[in-house]
Amino acid sequence: DTGVSQDPRHKITKRGQNVTFRCDPISEHNRLYWYRQTLGQGPEFLTYFQNEAQLEKSRLLSDRFSAERPKGSFSTLEIQRTEQGDSAMYLCASSYFGTRGYTFGSGTRLTVV
Amino acid sequence: QKEVEQDPGPLSVPEGAIVSLNCTYSNSAFQYFMWYRQYSRKGPELLMYTYSSGNKEDGRFTAQVDKSSKYISLFIRDSQPSDSATYLCAMRAFQGAQKLVFGQGTRLTINP
């Protein structure tokens, strides 16, 4: 068990391009979360999966954002038509039902130029 | 007004000092309170988890919750340079709630 893994660690993209991030949670964890963190701020909730079902989405998750967890294991977060305001750290976390806290990955830092 | 307010600092103290970090919140539905530590270029790491009002101690760390005042604190005793990080408070409303609401984070530096 190597913890929550996120790929890539850093992504630089031009405005208007699409990007996709991957998260591999801890293997026995059935819950997976995506958060966004901008510089000098705390993480903000984006969405949450239990197994393969996406159970909650934040209003922050505009229609340019989509997240999937097709087989209840890894998850992807796609941002279409990126904007400069999308520049942030995208954090993935996982947990097991009944446990108290999440385990976060190290994040994917997105820079939109 | 943000649901959770946290002084961003930065806070700089000498090694061995007692550090006090605080958050206030406005949503009286919050019942579960956490403190996370985040090193540069890393994800947050859970330090303390408390339910409702009261104190919880774990080694050099003590978490306090005062629901009547909507105020939570984290105390670090005998602070070490390795404690230098950003400390984030987080909270959620009920056992089944999955969304955590975080404070802004306080950047702490412990000087040798």
Mean pLDDT across chain A:
93
pLDDT of the residue at A1: 52
From chain B residues 40-79, the ones with a CB under 8 A of any chain A CB are: 41-46, 49
The token pair at B83 is: 């404690």
Confidence of residue A44 (pLDDT cuts 50, 70, 90): very high
Q: Is A14 touching B (CB cutoff 8 A)?
A: no
pLDDT of the residue at B1: 78
Q: What is the mean pLDDT of residues A26-45?
A: 94
Q: Which of A9-23, A54-68, B82-96 has the highest mean pLDDT?
A: A9-23
For residues B63 and B52, the answer to whether their CB atoms sit within 8 Å is no
pLDDT of the residue at B79: 98
pLDDT of the residue at A98: 66
B46, B100, B104, B106: which to substitute to probe chain A, counting the most A Cβ within 10 Å? B100
pLDDT of the residue at B95: 64
Q: What is the mean pLDDT of residues B104-111?
A: 96
Cα–Cα distance measured from residue B34 to residue A28, given in angstroms and rounded to the nearest whole number? 23
Residue A26 has pLDDT above 60, yes or no: yes
Inter-chain residue contact A101 with B101, CB threshold 8 Å: no
Confidence of residue B87 (pLDDT cuts 50, 70, 90): very high
Contacts of B97 (CB under 8 A, 6+ apart): none
pLDDT of the residue at A13: 98
Residue A85 DSSP SS3: helix
